[in-house]
Amino acid sequence: MAGSESTRYRVRVAQDARDIRAAQRLRHLAFAPVAEGDLDCDAFDPPCTHFLIEEQSGARLVGCFRLLPLASGGEIHKSYAAQFYDLSPLSGFPGPMAELGRFCILPGAQDPDILRHAWAAMTRHVDRTGVEMLFGCSSFQGTDPAPYRDSFALLRDRHCAPEQWRPRVGAPGVFRFAEGLEGHTPDPKQALRAMPPLLRSYLVMGGWVSDHAVIDERMNTLHVFTGVEIGAIPPVRKRLLRAMAGA
């Protein structure tokens, strides 16, 4: 199967149970110590398409993610994110959707090319399948929002979801940053520096977030629902993504 090629990395779709187990082992490494056993796996794995990012030399697995296909917003309740958010506003989304989940990079692997290859693979998948909205949960490390005050204030000011699609509170523990940071003016540079790279990637494509963060004690994270409407991605950014994807 054709993959995303570069001098150092390639991306391919998992072909069998062994490939999926390799992704689950990497997820365990990335998400430990919260994951039990040797694998990070859940009930969402079977219906997903799993992507592996490997080094060309030696085929070491350095990253992975999964995509869950949904025919429309009418299936949004089947998503992983629906465990944490009331996604009923998105139930009226008319087109195909895909949930990006369990994105992780091998601990210690810092090369930004890994994330670029992931987005190249996602771009090819979106173009091939006609996905009209890509969404998922973007996670900040830890459950204390204080270190991320600038980040959350910037999200409040510039990147909250349109009212039409905005997720509602669906988890018992949340940080309502759209209300809780009144009067705080963010430092944009510090805000972006503290944001997860995946979230920054969503935002430069015109992505938006929920107006609150879920406090996930089990995973030791704060996460925001993040979505991007494919039709709203700026043309220049689309050209860059397709250039990376070799389209």
| pLDDT tens digits for range 100-128 | 999 999 999 989 999 999 999 999 999 99
Task: Report the share of the chain in percent with pLDDT over 90.
Answer: 85
198 phi and psi, to 5 degrees?
-65, -40
**CA-closest candidate to residue 64, choices 6, 143, 9:** 9
Q: Which pLDDT score is estimated for 2?
A: 41
Per-residue confidence (pLDDT) for residue 185, from 0 to 100: 95
Span 133-161, pLDDT tens digits: 999 999 999 999 999 999 999 999 999 99
What pLDDT, in 10s, does the model give residues 208-237?
Answer: 999 999 999 988 999 999 999 999 999 999
Question: Residue 16 is encoded by which pair of tokens?
Answer: 């069998």
Beta bridge partners of 70: 97
More confident residue, 243 or 86: 86
Q: Given this model, what pLDDT does residue 205 score?
A: 95
Task: Dig out the tokens for 207 from the structure.
Answer: 């992505």
**E strand or H helix at 120:** helix 113-129
Mean residue pLDDT of the chain comes to 93
What is the pLDDT at residue 6?
A: 52
Average pLDDT score over residue span 3-23:
86
pLDDT at 1 over 70: no
Q: What is the pLDDT of residue 3?
A: 47
How many residues are recorded in the chain?
247
Beta-bridge partners for 38: none
Tokens of 114: 């890994």
Is pLDDT of 60 > 70? yes
Indicate the pLDDT class of residue 36, thresholds 50, 70 and 90: low
Alpha-carbon gap, residue 152 to 156, rounded angstroms: 6
Q: What are the backbone angles phi and psi of residue 56, rounded to the nearest 5°?
A: -65, -40
Residue 31 has pLDDT above 90, yes or no: no
Task: Report pLDDT for 59.
Answer: 87
The pLDDT-based confidence of 28 (bands split at 50, 70, 90) is: very high
